[in-house]
Homo-oligomer: A and B are copies of this chain.
Amino acid sequence: MEEKIIEKLIGAFMFLPGVGYKTAQRYAYKVLLGDENDVKNLAHTIIEAKEKVRFCSLCGGFSTTDVCDKCRTRISKIICVVEEPKDIDYIERAKNCELVYHVLHGTISPLNNRGPEDIRIKELLERLKTGDYTEVIIATNPSVEGEATSMYISRLLKPLGIKVTRLAQGISMGSDLEYTDEVTLSKALEARKEI
């Protein structure tokens, strides 16, 4: 009986990214031997976060309300376009000015059968129609797909007379926003170029 529960716990932990059997086993033993309050806190926080955190209807980032804190409180003429909600966090830690965001929830990727209509480009155009924004910073990852998405968006926005910029090539090609240090990311924001 106990073996079944422990195996089930190990299996459940393997849901986490990059966690194989051995690591899941270490986590499971920590759960069984660790402080009861810490363990229950982990489980309850997971449930709380999963239940409360949804996507902001405006920017597509994480939010506990219909419109997120940033969209509600910030007044900015610059909108920063990112691939995933978590990318907002990385930009936030590096940026010098208050930005508002727009999360695409993916990239254009013909190989994976994802076209422009599969990511939140239509919603971006809707937001820009209001005329509240003068500049769009495209902060997709410097991957092939991120670059393609960036090019697509810039060609779409140029005729509208909106300044479109891209993060400067301070971030290394083939890397990921998640692993770029804050100083580099900050410099890349400063040196953004019109495309």
Chain A residues engaging chain B, CB cutoff 8 angstroms: 1-3, 5-6, 8-9, 12-13, 15-18, 23, 25-34, 36, 38-50, 52-53, 61-65, 68-69, 84-86, 89, 178
Among B6, B12, B42, B69, point to the contact of A1 (Cβ < 8 A): B69
Q: Determine if A48 and B16 form an interchain contact, defined as CB atoms under 8 angstroms apart.
A: no
Would A12 and B64 count as touching, CB distance under 8 A?
no
Main SS class of interface, A? helix
Q: Residues of B contacting A84 with CB < 8 Å?
A: 29, 33
Asked whether, in the complex, the Cβ of B27 is within 8 Å of the Cβ of A50, the reply is no
Q: Give the docked Cα–Cα distance between A32 and B61 (Å).
A: 11
Selected from B12, B28, B32, B42, the residue in CB contact (under 8 A) with A13 is B42
User: Which of A40, A52, A53 has the largest number of chain B CB atoms within 10 A?
Assistant: A53
Can you spell out 19 A-B residue pairs with CB atoms less than 8 angstroms apart? A2-B52, A2-B62, A5-B45, A5-B52, A6-B53, A6-B62, A6-B89, A8-B49, A15-B30, A15-B38, A15-B41, A16-B27, A17-B27, A31-B49, A31-B50, A32-B49, A32-B50, A32-B85, A39-B50
A86 to B69, CA, bound (A): 45
Q: Which residue in chain B gives the minimum CB-CB distance to A13?
A: B42
Q: Given A12-B41, A53-B5, A69-B3, decide whether A46 and B31 contact each other with a Cβ distance below 8 A.
A: yes
Contact between B1 and A64, CB atoms less than 8 A apart: yes
